[in-house]
Chain A
Amino acid sequence: AQTVTQSQPEMSVQEAETVTLSCTYDTSESDYYLFWYKQPPSRQMILVIRQEAYKQQNATENRFSVNFQKAAKSFSLKISDSQLGDAAMYFCAPGQGGSEKLVFGKGTKLTVNP
């Protein structure tokens, strides 16, 4: 079974600073998608960013970017210019079986300090 490790249960960052959340995973597949989802206290999971494993270029979405190292099976999320609204649980979710099934990590709780 695929495993996903988010080694930082909690992280904190000062407003306007940069923070990086780590994620490693185990897969035998060669082509898949990877996702970062955000879950604020309201519980609604929201997609932050998506990366296609066959693409060498790291995905970027405004203040959010990833560092995808396919060989190392690492998929970290960088949040630049952190805002109070970024405070949430962040889940890493690599796809399995053609990305039709997502396997979620345990999450990292991000606190943004004013």
Chain B
Amino acid sequence: EAGVVQSPRYKIIEKKQPVAFWCNPISGHNTLYWYLQNLGQGPELLIRYENEEAVDDSQLPKDRFSAERLKGVDSTLKIQPAELGDSAVYLCASSFRGGDEQFFGPGTRLTVL
């Protein structure tokens, strides 16, 4: 069984540029999570989807961050424009349903110059 797939693994951009991250969850998993992990910290939830509905986006900085999960499968997280402080690892996770074990992808390391 394939795990959670994320791309790209690494991204380097100039500040004020846009950037997008893609996540393909485990087949059949209805719940999808995006986390932000700063260096030396634990992951922090940005947004949680149940199928195609964003049920918890309270921690998502909506002035520059957006996310979508069309058709309730793949998801894209976008930052526009990126700031220096956005440099971090962005993790995607999925579970069969909320509250179950979450399976994580390898993450995307973003560096904003």
Q: A residues touching B (Cβ–Cβ < 8 Å)?
A: 4, 33, 35, 37, 42-47, 50, 91, 93, 95, 98-102, 104-107
A98 to B41, CA, bound (A): 24
Once the chains bind, are B99 and A91 in contact (CB under 8 Å)?
no
The residue that A107 contacts in the complex, of B42, B56, B91, B104, with Cβ under 8 A, is: B42
A99 to B48, CA, bound (A): 12
Chain B interface residue count, Cβ-Cβ cutoff 8 angstroms: 22
15 CB-based A-B contacts, threshold 8 Å: A37-B104, A42-B106, A43-B91, A44-B106, A45-B91, A45-B93, A47-B101, A50-B101, A99-B99, A100-B56, A100-B98, A104-B42, A104-B43, A106-B41, A107-B42
The residue that A101 contacts in the complex, of B45, B105, B109, with Cβ under 8 A, is: B45
A50 to B43, CA, bound (A): 18
* A residues near B93, Cβ cutoff 8 Å: 45
Is residue B40 contacting chain A, with contact meaning CB distance below 8 A? Answer: yes
Most buried by A among B31, B102, B109: B102
Q: B residues touching A (Cβ–Cβ < 8 Å)?
A: 31, 40-45, 48, 56, 89, 91, 93, 98-99, 101-107, 109
* B residues near A101, Cβ cutoff 8 Å: 45, 48, 56
The residue that A104 contacts in the complex, of B31, B44, B99, with Cβ under 8 A, is: B44
Using CB atoms, name the residue of chain B closest to A4.
Answer: B42
Measured between C-beta atoms, what is the minimum distance from A46 to chain B in Å? Answer: 8
A46 to B106, CA, bound (A): 10
Using CB atoms, name the residue of chain A closest to B3.
Answer: A44
Across the A-B interface, the 6 shortest Cβ-Cβ residue pairs: A104-B42, A100-B98, A45-B104, A99-B99, A43-B107, A91-B42
Using CB atoms, name the residue of chain A closest to B108.
Answer: A43
Using CB atoms, name the residue of chain A closest to B98.
Answer: A100
Once the chains bind, are B45 and A102 in contact (CB under 8 Å)?
yes
